[in-house]
Structure formats: C-alpha cells, structure tokens
Chain A
Amino acid sequence: MEDGLVKKLEDNTKRIFENMNVKSSYSEITKGKIRSIEPPIIIIPKKQQDSETTKKQVEQKIKPAEISVAVTKIKSAGHASKAHSQYFEEAMNQAIANVAALPGIVGKSIGLPDIHSGYGFAIGNMAAFDMNDPLSVVSPGGVGFDINCGVRLLRTNLYEKDVAPVKENLAQSLFDHIPVGVGSKGIIPMNAKDLEEALEMGMDWSLREGHSWAEDKEHCEEYGRMLNADPAKVSMRAKKRGLPQLGTLGAGNHYVEIQVVDEIFDKWAAAKMGIEEKGQVCVMIHSGSRGFGHQVATDALVEMEKAMKRDKIETNDRQLACARINSKEGQDYLKSMAAAANFAWVNRSSMTFLTRQAFAKQFGMAPDDLDMHVIYDVSHNIAKIEEHIVDGRHKTLLVHRKGSTRAFPPHHPLIPVDYQLTGQPVLIGGTMGTCSYVLTGTLQGMIETFGSTCHGAGRALSRAKSRRNIEYKDVLQKLKDMDIAIRVASPKLVMEEAPESYKNVTDVVDTCHAAGISKKAIKLRPIAVIKG
C-alpha cells in the first residue's frame, strides 16, 4: 500500500511541475507578441522652438559657487521651528510651523535638507499624525499635487564603453519611445474600463497586461499597489485628465536619464542591487501621476474646504486644507489618493516597458538578457499608514511625505526581501546634468525622522529668476561640454531646470548621510537626459 501511495505522490508532483513550466521568463512570453506589433515607425524629430518671445534678458550670470545649501543637523532638531534656525527663510519656518500646529501631529514636523517652499507644506517636509486620535487630520497639501511622484532605477549589464558609441541614438530612441512634455499623449491604448482597472490594481494591472516583469513588483514600495484604492471615489474630471496621459513622462522636473555608476560607497549594498562596478549603466525614471493626481488633489482641496468649515478646523493658510482622517472627506481622499498612487506606478511601469523596448531595439537583445531589472522604485509625494515606535510605544501613524522619501532600515518587514540586510534603497534624483544617488535606510532614520530622508536637490532659484539669469543656450552647451546627450521637448525652458537653479544634490545627500538618517551607497552620473 505504501508503495502505491508514494508512487502516486511522486507522479502527482511530477505532473504539477510539468504543467507549471516555471522556467519561462517574461521576455519569452512577450517575444512573440512584441514582434507581432507593427514595425517601428520612422521618427519626425520633435520641433525645436524658435520664437523670439521667450528669450529673456540676461541680467546677471549666476555663479553656482555662491549658492549655499542650508545644512541642518537633523539630530538636534526638536520642534520644527528650532530645527531650521537661521538658515531658512522666514516663510519656510512659517510653513513648517503651520504644519506643526495641525491637530493630531505626532513628534515633530520635520524639514529635510532639500527643503524649499511649497504651499501648505513646504517641499521636503514630513509629518506624522496619530491614526487613533479622532482629531487627527489628513492634508492633501502634505502630499502635494503630483501624488506618488517618484523615482525608479533600472540596471543593465552594459558598461559605459558599450553605450558611449550609440549614446545619441539611444537618447533619441528613448525620446521617441517615451511621450514627453506638455500636451503629449500615452501610446499604450487605454479605454475608460482599462483605466478603472489600472487605478484599482496598480502594477498588478501592468503585470497582467505584460508591461511589467513579476520581479519589478517586488522592488516597489507597497509592491506597486495600494490596496485601499477606490476608483469610485475619484471624480470623472480626474479620470478624463488621466486617461490620455497614462504612460507619459510629463514636464517640469520630470526626466528619464541614462546614468553610469560613478562611485560605489557601499559595495555590499551595491552588490545586492546588482551593481558590480563603476561604469555600469543604469536608467532613472522620474515621474508621477500626471494630470490625474493633480486633479485628485485639487478636488480634495475643494471638498475639504467645506469640511473644514463644518468641523471648525482652522489653519493659517487656505492651501493647508485638511480633514479629519475619520471624516468622509478624509477617507475619500485617502482612497482616491491611493488610486492616484496606483496610476503613478502604472505610469512608471509603462515607461519602464518603453525603455526596455528602446534598449532592446538598440542592442538587438531581449531586455532579459540586458538584465534590465528594477533596482527600486520610491515615492516621494505620498501619505501612508505605517507602524512606528514613538517614545517607546507602538503607534499607527498616517505619515505624510512631501518631497521626502521613505527610508526604512534593514530587517523592516515592509522592504523587499532582497534588501533585508542592506536597508531600503533610497533613490535621490539629481537635476539635469548633475549626479544622482542611491542611499539606504538606517535604524537612526527610523527613530528620528519616521524613516524618512531627502528626495532630491531642492530648488534654490525661482523659475523666473532662472529664466532671467541663465541663458538656455549656455545650459545646453554646458551639457554638451560634459558629454551629456540631451533631448528636450521645450529646450528654451531648460534653464528653469538648470543645475544652477537647484541646491547641490551632493551637499543635500552628504547632510543626510552625516545626520545618519540614510547611508550613501552609489553615486550615478548622467550621460543622456530626456526631458519634457
């Protein structure tokens, strides 16, 4: 009898494995299908702008050395206003203090080193609210308009020497594959039903449709899907704005960059991320939830204004609209924000797909063989419900991060298994032509800043000032001198995003490293920039 039983078990096992056929990979699945897509179309280069009207007068040339970075030692930060002492403008202090005065706030309202003024919350601000305090609020101003704006980093097994000869072609190819700039529309066909599903499923939708790899999902915050998303809570208006824009990069500070590893600070962490040595090529995608997220935020602000009158919540700034977490408006916002977050993940996934296609065509190899895995995907404009220890006691908090990145330490249950020993990778996008960094989360950051760190360079000059002070041709020339290929939808506006307009990202990162709230792992340098 045993013999029969064992035999049967073995047969069953064999059958299961035969049927599973798990060895096949994404590229095998999609190979046939990609091929069946109609052959690539010849490109008409996007037109350069040649009107005289945008040409701004040069009042004075800017000297980058004169721009100082406000260095703050977060360790010594007590309550918000103290943390930023003399370095920050009054307005910024005011913004942080306004946030610190909101009901239900736990600990401190924290300004990170890349802080610059926004409305309501400053950009580079994080604040946590106690979920169990009935007075606690959620504020769309604490998330920002570009919900789940974030950065994704892909690695490749290529080196600078492989890419250098075809850099211009590759940059052009990326520019042609990925819709960029004002008024661009997505090239992945979508209808209203697809959008509803994508809003609910996030990256699971991308997986289902075959735009993503199964492994991509592992390396995203929340596995690329916020489960509390409810598309029914999202206005028709937002959906209408979102539909044509899914799979587009956007404009402003959003970009796709081809980067090479310039320096490795932590070789073990780098190895875990699949980064072996200097010169390895990566691709960074910085984008968000496009018009969809912007409209969700706008709708919520309008709704909350009414709720504030009803619940008698007063704030110092009309833009700082908020609602009790437990109120209908608060709950509706959290659900629609989650839908917008899912939109952003799908958006970045679609562009990942297009990036992989562009590389595959250029090098005549499957993306799988190019090892184009997602290293990580961070969100730097989002509110999340998290568990934290505050004053030795366990608390459930609603953590708002606006221009601030989650940075969880090693062994945190919410970070991917591959990074359990290194801590969560934190992607810090630089500005056009400057470096980017990969950091890792630390225990100290978990304790002191609710597991948060900086998100990027942070603005130093206003856009108008940049337009006046910097000549766009100089910016383009400078990039050319640095041997960086550039493709921009609106070249006459590149000075707004010129490195001189921003704080030095290296200083920002060094500050966070020194304060111990995150740890430097890799430095990346751009060799090609694609922008709106």
Chain B
Amino acid sequence: MSQETYKGLIKYLDALEYPDSQNLNFSNEKTVREIVLWLETNKLKSAKSSVLKGLQSQNSEEWNKHFEEYTGSCGGFSFNSPLEKLHWLLAKALCNEYAKNKQLYNSHAVEKIKASNVPKVVAENPLDRLDYSTQESKDRINELAKLLKITPSPDHLVTLSAVRKVICSRLSLDCAKNPENVIVKGTPFPYKEVPMGKDFKDPSLNEAVKILQLLNIGDIRDLQTKASELIVTKQKATADPKTDTKIGKVGVNGK
C-alpha cells in the first residue's frame, strides 16, 4: 500500500471528522475495524441489524465475514486489501455527506474561494512585493535584456516576460548541462521569398506578419510532434503488425 493511499485515507477521515485522524496506525487491524464501525454508526447508517451486530463484535473471528456482507458487491470493484476497501467506503461516506449539504459545500467551491485566496498568495511571494513601476525596475529589466541580447519593448513588463522566457527555456540547469538538447537545429529556409497570401503594402508590417507565420508554424510543429509521440506510446499497446506469409510469398531466399 503506497504512501499516497495512506495520505488519502487520512484526508478522508479528517474530512469526515474522525477523532484523532492524524495519529492512526492502519497496519493494526483493530484500527480498521473501529473505523468501519464508526462510519456505519455515525455516517452511513445503512446496515441491517444483524450485520451491525457482527461489526460491533470487534474481536470476533467472524468480523471479516460480516464486513464482506456489509460492503456487498462494492460497486463491482475488486480490491487488493482491506485498506483499499476502506478507502472506497470512506469515499462513499464522503459522497453521502456532500449530497446532504451540497449547497453549503458548493459555496466553498474552488472557483469561489480563488478570488479571496489570490491576495494571500501574492503577499507570500517576495517578488510580488516589488514595485515594478519605478525607474529603477525599468532600468534593471532593460539591462538584463541587454545582457541576454533581447530587444527591449517600450513596455518593460513585456520585456520582463521575454527575459523570463529566455531564462526558463535556455538558462535552466538542464540546458547548461546539455545545451544540444535545447538549441533548435534546422535547415535555413528563405522564408522571405514565400508568398504569404496577402500583401499589406508595408514592408515592416509584411515582415512582422512573416515572423508571426513562422512562430505559428513552430507552435504547430510542436503540437504535431507531441501528437505523434502520443500515438507512438499508444502503439506500444496496440501495434501487432501481422503478415500471413502463407498467402503471399514474402521474403527472398531466407534473407
């Protein structure tokens, strides 16, 4: 059982307000039995009286049998351990809890609390405390750009994001170690000679459009490569090229 699952169990128990959920020892079977009983008594309340009785006799040899009966088919899942089953049971209890107080919980939904959370996060980021509008910030950003050979934009914040892009993509630790993995290789192409479909009657505008076209092509190429890579991973599972050599005559002289 992985660390993740333990964490998940604790999280669920915490949410269900199980007493002392942080200090539980799941390897002890007794703990599991206690939790199950607690769940049934306080949350689920769905067992027949005979089953409930069985679950209550915590030290009985028969307990597991009652537990089986209690969980029934478990929605058709199969489980590798009682803990996984417990996990499923907890999730079920959580669902019930949520269904009971849907409106209350929804008012705390992620999209609603986000807004109130943002300023808090900002306050904790030291960079966000900087005032970027000062002349000093502007100068420093432009200096940094000059150092990295980036043409500064009139808007220093745009320049800053360009600086960030270069640093993240080209100056990471990984790039420093294996620069050849990052530096784009390719054959030159006289892109200026390619008709672009529409003449804007302004050389600099045309130039800009061409550059945008190239950037767009680069992006699509990237996407296409990722798509192809994904297909290749899937092929691992599906590909089984068969040829029935009896029908045709494949191969020459055993070569």
Q: Could you give, for residues 21-38 of chain A, a 1 whenever the CB lies within 8 Å of some chain B CB and a 0 otherwise?
A: 110111001100110011
Q: Is the CB of B250 within 8 A of A40?
A: yes
Stretch at the interface among B74-82, B162-170, B232-240: B232-240
Q: Does B194 contact A (CB under 8 A)?
A: yes
The residues of A that contact B252 with a CB separation of less than 8 Å are 40, 43, 169, 172-173, 176, 361
Cross-chain contact B249 with A43 (CB below 8 angstroms): yes
Q: Are B125 and A25 in contact (CB under 8 A)?
A: no
Instruction: Give the residue name and chain of the A residue nearest to B253 (CB).
Output: A42
**Alpha-carbon gap, A44 to B243, bound state (A):** 18
A450 within 8 A of B: no
Distance A184 CA – B249 CA, assembled complex (angstroms):
11
Chosen A-B contacts, 18 in total, with CB atoms closer than 8 Å, are: A1-B124, A2-B124, A22-B233, A24-B236, A29-B236, A40-B255, A41-B246, A41-B249, A43-B252, A173-B252, A176-B248, A208-B238, A209-B241, A210-B241, A211-B241, A214-B231, A411-B197, A443-B197
Cβ-based interface call for A186 (8 A): yes
B187 within 8 A of A: yes
Query: Which residue in B189, B196, B240, B241 is a CB contact (below 8 Å) of A268?
Result: B189
The B-contacting residues of A in range 420-444, CB under 8 angstroms, are: 420-422, 443
Q: Is the CB of B244 within 8 A of A189?
A: yes
**Residue in B197, B236, B245 whose CB lies within 8 Å of A40:** B245
**How many residues on A have C-beta within 8 angstroms of the other chain's C-beta atoms?**
59
**Contact (Cβ within 8 A) B217 A417:** yes
Q: Is the CB of A215 within 8 A of B228?
A: yes
A179 in contact with B248 given A26-B232, A33-B239, A207-B231 (CB within 8 Å): yes
B197 touches A214 (CB 8 A): no
Beta-carbon contact of A421 and B221 below 8 Å: no
In this assembly, does B96 line the interface, its C-beta being within 8 Å of a C-beta of chain A? no
Please determine whether B249 and A188 come into contact, CB atoms closer than 8 angstroms: no
Choice from A177, A215, A409 contacting B250 with Cβ under 8 Å: A177
Q: Which residues of A311-344 are within 8 A (CB) of B?
A: none
Q: Report if B191 contacts A (CB, 8 A).
A: yes
> Most A CB atoms within 10 A — which of B239, B245, B250, B253?
B250
Also in contact, A218 and B243, with CB within 8 A (given A26-B232, A361-B251, A361-B255)? no
**In the complex, A271→B231 CA distance in Å?**
26
Task: Judge whether A272 and B189 touch: CB under 8 Å.
Answer: yes
Contact status B191-A421, CB under 8 Å: yes
Docked complex: A185-216 residues within 8 A CB-CB of B: 185-189, 207-211, 214-215
Whether B254 sits at the interface, judged by CB under 8 Å, is: yes
Q: Are A177 and B251 in touch, CB under 8 angstroms?
A: yes
Given contacts A25-B232, A418-B221, whether A187 and B247 have CB atoms under 8 Å apart is: yes
Residue of B190, B230, B232, B234 with most chain A CB atoms under a 10 A cut-off? B232
The answer, among A41, A207, A208, for a CB contact under 8 Å with B251, is A41
In the complex, which residues of chain A have a beta carbon less than 8 angstroms from the beta carbon of B231? Answer: 207, 214, 217
CA distance A167 to B255 in the complex (A): 15
Q: Report chain A residues within 8 Å CB of B248.
A: 176-177, 179, 184-187
A464 an interface residue at 8 Å Cβ cutoff?
A: no
Q: At the interface, yes or no: A362 with Cβ under 8 Å from chain B?
A: yes
Contacts of B194 in A (CB 8 A): 410-411, 421-422
- Best-surrounded residue of B197, B227, B241 (most CB of chain A within 10 A): B241
Tell me, yes or no, whether B143 is within 8 Å of chain A by CB: no
Enumerate chain A residues within 8 angstroms of B254, measured Cβ to Cβ.
39-40, 42
**7 shortest A-B CB distances, which residue pairs?**
A40-B251, A210-B239, A187-B248, A214-B228, A214-B231, A22-B229, A210-B241
* Chain B residues closer than 8 Å to A121, beta-carbon distance: none
User: Whole-angstrom distance from the CB of A2 to the nearest CB of chain B?
Assistant: 6
A145 sits at the interface (CB 8 A)? no
The residue on B at minimum CB distance from A418 is B221
Q: How distant is B209 from chain A, measured CB to nearest CB, in Å? A: 10
- Chain A positions within 8 Å of B232 at CB level: 22, 24-26, 29, 214
Q: B242: which A residues are within 8 A, CB to CB?
A: 37, 188-189, 209
Give every chain A residue within 8 A of B233 (Cβ-Cβ). Answer: 20-22, 24
Is B240 touching A33 in the complex (CB atoms < 8 A)?
Answer: yes
**Is A353 engaged at the interface, CB distance under 8 Å to the other chain?**
yes
A389: shortest Cβ distance to chain B, in Å? 11
Q: Which residue of B lies closest to A37 (CB)?
A: B243
Given known A33-B241, A40-B254, A185-B248, contact A411–B124 (CB-CB < 8 A): no
Q: A177-B251, A187-B248, A417-B220 are in contact. Are A29 and B189 (CB under 8 A)?
A: no
Select one of B195, B224, B235 contacting A409, CB under 8 A: B195
User: Is B213 engaged at the interface, CB distance under 8 Å to the other chain?
Assistant: yes
Contact indicator per residue, chain B 208-232, by CB within 8 Å of chain A (1) or not (0): 0000010001001100100111111
Output the nearest chain A residue to B124 by Cβ-Cβ distance. A2
Minimum distance in angstroms from A481 CB to a CB of chain B: 25
Bound Cα distance A243, B102 (Å): 56
Bound state CA distance, A184 and B247, in angstroms? 9
Say whether B251 contacts A43, CB under 8 Å: yes
Q: A169-B252, A214-B228, A214-B232 are in contact. List 20 more A-B contacts (CB 8 A).
A: A20-B233, A22-B233, A38-B245, A40-B250, A40-B251, A43-B251, A177-B251, A187-B243, A208-B235, A208-B238, A209-B241, A214-B231, A215-B228, A268-B189, A357-B250, A361-B252, A409-B197, A410-B196, A417-B224, A421-B194
A409: chain B residues within 8 A (beta carbon)? 195, 197
Contact B220 A176 (CB under 8 A): no
Does A29 contact B243, Cβ atoms closer than 8 Å? no
Q: Which residues of B contact A187 (CB under 8 A)?
A: 243-245, 247-248, 250
Q: Which residues of B have CB within 8 Å of A416?
A: 224
Residues of chain A contacted by B238 (CB below 8 angstroms): 208-210
Complex: A70 Cα to B224 Cα, angstroms: 42
